[in-house]
Structure 1
Amino acid sequence: MDLALSWLRWWCIDCWLTAEPAWRQADFYQLDEATLRQLARTHHQQLCARLQLPASIAAVDDTLLQLMQLSSPLRLRVLRLVAEVCWRDSSRHTLTADQQRWCRRIAQAMRPGLWLTPPPGIPTGDGAIDGLWLLNLRCGPLCWPRVRLHFSPDRVQAVERLPPLSDFPSRLLPLWQAAIWQAAQEPLC
């Protein structure tokens, strides 16, 4: 499928149709999937308003789309890998020795400690929240409302209580691509 079409499909339908179960509280989620897809085509503006999503469409973001197309456990693995690269031992208890070694090698090359200065409270000690905080920065205000639907509300709320950075460090863009690739290489335990 064409990248732009895949992005549009995720943006307009899949972002809320595949939301974590805890986010699926709106009454229309009781409908069957075929009806929901039809509803998305004919009542997009109303669905966006009901879910408090911006109706405007963001530019195609291939890396973000790849992340959102991963399974939930793989998305969490990506968050933990990114957090571990940026803050050693933030995901130590949830990554294998090989994954930790991969993170150390990437961190040695990127040296995030020299240019990534997080606000107080970061890292939190939870690699999934630290990684989700970085993902929030990466997404920006237009994409974040849709991306957040793919993660547990508790984690999202914890991230949204943390102070933001003024700008997303663009040096982290290749890290997201590498972490997505790395997470997809290994089978889930």
Structure 2
Amino acid sequence: MDSPRGSPLNIDDPRLIEWLRFWQCPWVGMDVSWRDTLRPGTDHGLEDAWQSMPPTLLRRRLYLEEEVPPMPGEALLHWHALSPQERVRVLRLAAEVAVRDIATPLLAAEERAWCRRLARALMPGNWPVAYPPGLTAEPLGLAMLRKWLPAAAWARVRLHYHRALVEAGDARRWTGSRPRASTSSGTPCCGA
């Protein structure tokens, strides 16, 4: 069986069972910043909130469509296996590959060097990455992740990042200024 990204997956792979669990109940293990979405005005713990509500109500409160889960690719299965700290690190690395020095204070020198080598290998010269001025590494990484994922998968994945971070990287909120193309150094290119 092939995933949408073309990599073969074994139907007996235990990661697929975990993916299905994640798809059906993405609120399990989600970031606590989404608690008010589940039950506004209470001080119950997150575990209490999702355990005491019917799944259909949880899906409605979290704006999740009930649909058949897509077959995940290897990259999404790897994402699912990461810890919350590793997921944020991946956002920083992706942002640094796309926009040079955007994550400089957050990454070690060898990580930044790895990002530069990867950026040169993927697309030497100018990168057509549009992002609003002042956007930091994590929101930019999330915006790129959102563009890469199908909408239904993004609706679930976003729950595993801090809500303010998701909202900062939400491309729909980039209305104050026209997104500009940039070079790998983060400066505008193409006369934009």
TM-score after normalising by structure 1: 0.71
Q: Of the candidates 5, 13, 19, which is equivalent to residue 17 of structure 2? A: 5
Percent identity between the aligned chains? 32
Q: Any runs of at least 4 consecutive aligned residues in structure 1 with deviations exceeding 3 A, and if so which?
A: 27-33
One-letter amino acid of the structure 1 residue matched with residue 130 of structure 2: P
Which of 124, 147, 155 is matched with 1:137 structurally? 147
Residue 157 of structure 1 pairs with residue 162 of structure 2: no
The partner residue of 1:52 within 43, 47, 63 is 63
- Structure richer in helix, relative to its length: 1
| CA 55–108 in structure 1, closer or farther in 2 if over 3 Å, else same | same
Instruction: Write the distance in 1 (CA, Å) between the matches of 2:121 and 2:57.
Output: 46
CA RMSD of aligned residues (A): 2.6
Aligned residues: 155
Higher fraction of strand: 2
SS in 2 for 1:145: helix
Q: Distance in 2 between matches of 1:21 and 1:87?
A: 29
TM-score, with normalisation over the residues of structure 2? 0.70
Alpha-carbon deviation of 1:119? 3.1
- Which runs of no fewer than 5 residues in structure 1 stay unpaired? 164-189
Residue type of the partner of 1:105? R
Judging changes above 3 Å, is the alpha-carbon distance between structure 1 residues 113 and 83 closer, same or farther for their aligned structure 2 residues?
A: farther
| TM alignment of 1:82-101, pairs within 5 A | 82-101=94-113
* Alpha-carbon spacing, 1:105–1:118, altered in 2? closer, same or farther (3 Å): closer
The structure-2 alpha-carbon separation of the partners of 1:32 and 1:102, relative to structure 1 and needing over 3 Å to count, comes to closer
Following superposition, the deviation at residue 125 of structure 1 comes to 4.5
Q: Higher Cα Rg: structure 1 or 2?
A: 2
